[in-house]
């Protein structure tokens, strides 16, 4: 009789102001689940007051539960969805990590796995730098970064503008946020979910 092995637990942790990261995250969760891992979507806490959010025409995603930083210990791996701000991660995500000092001090996240995906307003507004500048958080916590690489064939497609890079899936929101996540960007996000799940499953054999 073989013992039942628990499915690896993956938290997809996002910040989204206009919904592009949220759309990508749904494809990521789908890809993860297709490969048989346990995937749950969370968001980081908002830090801006309602008065500012209203002026920014921000959407609210109250249906997604907020992840308490200390609950990162409950997962085996993470996929972080982060929109760019000036080519670097949104401050809401930085605030989340700045509350993980105790986890760092106890090495609670050492050896866990993480991938990252992003959204930018423009094609050259930080698709790669946003993920790149997020990596120190992983390094300091001893979390193993899992890049997407070129596992999604759409990354070679130059027939249209496509977000995403070997660093992770991505979408281009447009200067006014009106561009919708394209079908090819959804496919890249699906691939990131699937390939990340395969990496985690291999590590948990
Ligand atoms: C303060 C601020 C700074 C931004 N900086 C950049 C930037 O440097 N490059 C860029 O391409 N987009 C920039 N954007 C656009 C956001 O990245 C875009 O709204 C976001 O990717 C959309 O994702 P979401 O719909 O999930 O919120 C900025 C937006 C704000 C509000």
Closest protein CA for atom 25 of ligand 1: 18
Q: CA separation (Å) from 146 to 52, 66, 143, 182?
A: 35, 24, 9, 24
Mean pLDDT within 143-167: 97
Q: Rounded to 5, what percent of the chain is helix, strand, coil?
A: 40, 20, 45
**Confidence label for 1 from pLDDT (cuts 50, 70 and 90):** very low
State if residue 117 touches ligand 1 by the CB under 6 angstroms criterion: no
CA distance 160 to 106: 47
What's the DSSP call for residue 19?
S
State if residue 155 touches ligand 1 by the CB under 6 angstroms criterion: no
**80 close to 134: Cβ distance less than 8 angstroms:** yes
Domain ranges of the chain: 9-203
**13 close to 81: Cβ distance less than 8 angstroms:** yes
When the candidates are 3.50.50.60, 3.60.150.10, 3.40.50.300, 3.40.50.360, the CATH number that belongs to 9-203 is 3.40.50.360
Supply the mean pLDDT for the chain.
96
Mean pLDDT within 169-197: 97
How many residues can be counted in the chain?
Answer: 205
* pLDDT, position 60: 87
Task: Compute the distance from residue 89 Cα to the ligand 1 centre, in Å.
Answer: 9
> Cα angle vertex 69, ends 195, 66, to 5°?
80
Give the β-pairing of 77-85 and 88-89.
antiparallel
**86 close to 17: Cβ distance less than 8 angstroms:** no
* pLDDT, position 205: 83
Ligand 1 atom closest to the Cα of residue 16 is 26
Strand, helix or coil for residue 48: coil
For 48-54, the CB contacts below 8 A with 24+ separation are 48/92, 53/17
**Buried/exposed code over 183-201 (b: 16+ C-beta within 10 A; e: otherwise):** ebbbbbbbbbbbbbbbbbe
Burial of residue 97 (number of CB atoms within 10 Å: 0-12, 13-18, 19+): buried
Closest protein CA for atom 18 of ligand 1: 121
* pLDDT, position 126: 97
* pLDDT, position 5: 72
Give the β-pairing of 113-120 and 77-85.
parallel
* pLDDT, position 3: 60
């Amino acid at each position: 009789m073989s013992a039942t092995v628990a499915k690896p637990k993956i938290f997809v942790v996002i910040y989204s102001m206009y919904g592009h990261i949220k759309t990508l995250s749904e494809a990521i969760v789908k890809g993860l689940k297709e490969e048989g891992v346990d995937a749950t979507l969370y968001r980081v806490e908002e830090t801006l007051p309602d008065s500012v959010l209203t002026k920014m025409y921000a959407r609210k995603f109250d249906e997604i539960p907020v992840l308490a930083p200390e609950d990162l210990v409950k997962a085996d791996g993470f996929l972080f969805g982060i929109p760019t701000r000036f080519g670097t991660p949104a401050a809401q995500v930085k605030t989340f990590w700045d509350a993980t000092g105790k986890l760092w001090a106890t090495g609670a996240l050492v050896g866990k796995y993480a991938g990252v995906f992003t959204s930018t307003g423009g094609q050259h507004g930080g698709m790669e730098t946003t993920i790149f500048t997020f990596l120190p958080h992983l390094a300091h916590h001893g979390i193993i970064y899992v890049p997407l690489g070129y596992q999604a064939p759409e990354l070679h497609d130059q027939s249209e503008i496509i977000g995403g890079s070997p660093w992770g899936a991505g979408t281009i929101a447009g200067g006014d946020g009106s561009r919708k996540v394209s079908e090819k960007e959804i496919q890249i996000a699906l691939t990131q979910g699937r390939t990340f799940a395969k990496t985690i499953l291999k590590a948990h054999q």
